Structure 1
């Protein structure tokens, strides 16, 4: 059945299963299957490219500093185009934007494969330009992809749809780097980049089958100036919406004070030096927990008190990081990281659902753009804090202090912002309607 804009109607509500298995109800919707398929076919290649680029930079320069600068080169367009891409997603057909950005990503990955085949060691500036382009296209694609979910599956299916997408991402985070390591051992980086390009080509074919998905109230051609102004309008809107604002604030707190990756190399060379592949297990710990939680996330899609559960999940993250900080055994440390990853998965699924349902449709792209920036920037700031504190006070102090701050901060948020603590998924439409009314009032002033 087709709606007035040619969009397949959201899957009708069905009785919720009471089991723990991941809720696959959104996959009954043909349009959502195409979006989900686009995520699935690109995730493996994307993760392989994230391994291949820094490896190629190090092989070219022999400098860890240059590898670090490559990360910064990729972060800048991610921030800029994450915000701009969110505004563009609120000003043009989101299906068209997803197709264009996926084509751009496919071309960029193909160029990475070509440069890897050329004779000689390669050029650093070429890698940096292409790495920046990869980030830019991803930053434009993700807000549009997230913003269309409510239109495809309805408010009832948003949390389950997010859990499905995030679970397949976590599978890619685990399998992609492992497969990349094996292929790098064969000595041909072009294979990794080619897999990434093929994934995006398949995604384009899937996305082309979607109906038009314009934001509500948008007609006519995209005007770049209006999109740029839309970024400011998005931040102005966010300041008036404490519930939406806090979905970003609590995640920044969690990542800033307890993102642990910066201390993994030191621990692998000191505390866990006697354990085989300790570095690999430490890096895999969070993703293992996230994947297991994703596979058992059926209950998450049934949560009504989403704000309260987000705060509880982040507090659990803080407790798990404290446990990680005091662990003398590698396997206990990995277990704590897995618990932290599971808690982060719950928080991420519910925060995404809150953004997608409590924000008016005409603001969803911009909210998802901010989400991209926060998700990308928070861990990098957390690495900086952890590195500084670990080098001066030690790893245990850096991790334990961060976990304690998070627990206290979540209690403060619950008291200081009661609208977040009491937010219910069943009332998200009311929150979105109130936000739309405030937007209309501001426009008339």
Structure 2
């Protein structure tokens, strides 16, 4: 017979047991509330997805909810950190340091995080990381304040921990989805991630910043990360039953790149994902200056000017699984990348009369029906954000589906970690160089030229993979021909 938490007659209640009873009751009520809300959301999604069975999978619903909460918390934190630094110093250099603090951890530690993610059960790794991140979001601002050093440390620490959670999040779908469901599963996870980003960056953080201040944003980020922990703890997979080997991660950059070189179809797909991620980072960095110099608006409004990119994201969520079935992951990824690059170039031409050519057929004009009348340049920039959002999402989903289907599960965490390492490492120099170039030549010229630079970066990454892999350099672009080759569906055991 189990022991009751009620005290014996005549004895004073134990404050600890009483507090635990209250906490457990509040946790159960909050957990039930989130479950009921999630069930209502997924009932709506069932009507729009081509592979509806995965949306009814309760374990997948936990993953999707966890992805939403964790991304909302981390992105709200990053936005709050940027605003805190700008408010305290007003220096663009200090704002750039926030970006560098976010990019350095995946560049230096990405492969170690991927090895840890491969070695640990996904649920344990994600729950542990989310909890530690939440504690940091609460403790650092309260103890050390929101000055530059403490904010940089907080951003750096959150992103160090993210090197374990990131690969784990990207490689968890195969544990609950079948091979036929992977495209839809990754589409839904991309939807949850991007909706979380929009919620944290465009809704939660701006409101809290204006009403309560930066510390409130950090506290809200902690709450969201704790909610992510509660969702992922509800997930149970067959992987949990496997013994965990506690040992130092075996990380060899040369061997990992050599393995990808031996599987060139996988390696070149990873490079495409790297390029799309780099372009997205560049756009996010240049967006405030673009909004200020071209549109004449407050740089803080950049998040709202490019908000229509979520429309492109939503279209990609619906369309990309079908494109993958028709064209395959490779052509879908390339199509998304080309669309994104063209839209980036067109942003640079808005100041040179493109707005006058597009505005007569611009669908954004429909907002005039509700009394909003932005200028032609702003409407053109907003409509161009739609194909950018579509392209970024299509590339990400295509690459992730390709890797999930063709890379052994034991290597998926390290594969995604390598992609993150290359993406963030290759973004640091372009950020500094393009930021300096924008100051001299203008942001328009940078947006026009940057897609060409990204193509050059692709060639550099291919040569780098050949050098680390120990293979003799191939002539011209022969290595890219492997992009069209089918990678074998291998079942290599973990090792």
Q: TM-score, normalised by structure 2?
A: 0.72
1:67 to 95, 105, 123: 95
Q: How does 1:76-91 map to 2 (within 5 A)?
A: 76-91=104-119
For residues 152 and 273 of structure 2, the distance between their equivalents in structure 1, rounded to whole angstroms, comes to 29
Indicate the SS of the match to 1:153: coil
Q: Distance in 2 between matches of 1:110 and 1:35?
A: 24
Q: Which residues in structure 2 correspond to 1:73-222 (within 5 Å)?
A: 73-112=101-140, 114-115=142-143, 122-178=146-202, 179-212=204-237, 214=239, 219-222=243-246
SS of corresponding position for 2:245: coil
Which sections of structure 2, spanning at least 5 residues, go unmatched?
Answer: 1-44, 352-376, 463-475
Distance 1:280 1:196, change over 3 A: closer
* Offset from partner CA, 1:400-425 (integer Å, 9 cap, x none): 333456689999999753332254xx
In the aligned structure 2, how far is the partner of 1:177 from the partner of 1:65? 21
Structure 1 stretches lacking a partner, 5+ long: 1-16
CA distance in 1, matches of 2:402, 2:289: 37
After superposition, the CA RMSD in angstroms is: 3.6
- Deviation (angstroms), 1:274: 7.1
Give the conservation status (yes or no) of the 8 Å contact 1:20–1:298: no
Instruction: State the TM-score, normalized to the length of structure 1.
Output: 0.79
CA deviation after TM superposition for structure 1 residue 109, in Å: 1.8
1:66 is displaced (CA, Å) by 2.1
Kept in 2: contact 1:39–1:203 (CA 8 A): yes
Whether the aligned pair in 2 keeps the contact of 1:311 and 1:410 (CA below 8 Å) is no
Q: CA deviation at 1:297?
A: 4.5
Distance in 2 between residues matched to 1:276 and 1:140, nearest whole Å: 33
Query: 2:419: which partner in 1?
Result: 371
**143-152 or 384-393, larger mean C-alpha shift:** 384-393
Question: Structure 1 residues 285, 229: closer, same or farther in 2, change over 3 A?
Answer: same
1:244 paired with 2:266, answer yes
Cα distance change, pair 31–91 in 1 and its aligned pair in 2 (3 A): same
Q: What does 1:351-362 correspond to in 2, within 5 Å?
A: 351-362=399-410
Report the count of equivalent residues. 409
Name the CA distance, whole Å, in 1 between partners of 2:221 and 2:334. Answer: 36
SS in 1 for 2:251: helix
Report 1:391-410 matches (<5 A): 391-403=439-451
CA distance in 2, matches of 1:22, 1:372: 29
Specify the structure having the higher radius of gyration (Cα).
2
Q: For each residue in 1:301-349, what CA deviation from the matched residue of structure 2 results, as whole angstroms up to 9, or x when unmatched? A: 6345211221122112222222222123222222222212211211110
Tell me, in whole angstroms, the C-alpha distance in 1 between the residues paired with 2:191 and 2:55.
14
Query: Which residue pairs with 1:39 in the alignment?
Result: 67
Q: Is the 8 A contact 2:272 2:395 kept in 1?
A: no
